[in-house]
Amino acid sequence: MATLVEIFTREDVRPQVVRACASLIDAEVKSKTGLSALAIKAGYKLVAAIRPSMVADVVDRLLPEFAAALEPVYVESREQAARDGAPLPEVFAAHVTTEAPRVAQALLTVTDRRAAKASGPLRKTYDRLRDSAEAHVRIAVPGLARTLAPFLA
């Protein structure tokens, strides 16, 4: 059975996954409200000003690492789908959502590793937003699950 890295990085699938994830990130940032949203939106605007394609480029570059970070949850989903005779995309979406804290931590481990290598305004922005990132990523996990599940069909 193929791994998530193999599935999401196939030549015909990767651009679709990248677009879908970049759209999800845009929607998540736009949906933020309140005082903390100001910092998030300002950071996102800074990133877009530096390089408009940066979000998609980063998603594309980190996709193999993100997929590898999600692999344990995918394996569990595959096993559950086989046991229950249920469709893998539905089981995966439900399981990822249920495991939102674990998924958020796995994804942030990838970005933390990369951010440690960054410098300048991007590093400062990441460092400033990192404290609240886990809560925001956890909130976004159900959307991520819905975004990725169709690629498993």
Give the rounded distance of the alpha carbon of 5 from its chain centre: 13
Taking residues 82-101, report their average pLDDT.
Answer: 98
Q: CA 105, CA 138: separation in Å to the nearest integer?
A: 8
Number of domains in the chain: 1
pLDDT bracket for residue 76 (50, 70, 90): very high
Cα torsion for 7, 12, 17, 22, to the nearest 10°?
150
Segment 16-75, tens digit of pLDDT: 999 999 999 999 999 988 887 887 888 788 888 888 898 999 999 999 999 999 999 999
Task: Confirm whether 42 is domain-assigned.
Answer: yes
- Cα Rg of the chain, angstroms: 16
Quick: pLDDT tens for 104-143.
Answer: 999 999 999 988 888 787 788 777 778 888 888 999 999 9
Query: Is 7 inside any structural domain?
Result: no
For the cut 80, the answer to whether the pLDDT of residue 151 exceeds it is yes
5 belongs to a structural domain: no
Distance CA 33, CA 83 (A): 41
Range of the domain at 42: 14-152
Residue 6 lies in a domain: no
Would 1 be classed as within a structural domain?
no
Q: Tell me: the pLDDT tens digits for 14-30?
A: 999 999 999 999 999 99
What's the pLDDT at 107? 96
Residue 3 lies in a domain: no
CA dist 76 → 30, 81, 92, 105 (Å): 32, 9, 8, 17
| Reduced 3-state DSSP string for 70-97 | HHHHHHHHHHHHHHHCCCHHHHHHHHHH
- Tokens 């991007």, located at residue: 122
Of the two residues 124 and 10, the one the predictor is more confident about is: 10
pTM above 0.85, yes or no: yes
Looking at residue 103, what is its pLDDT? 98
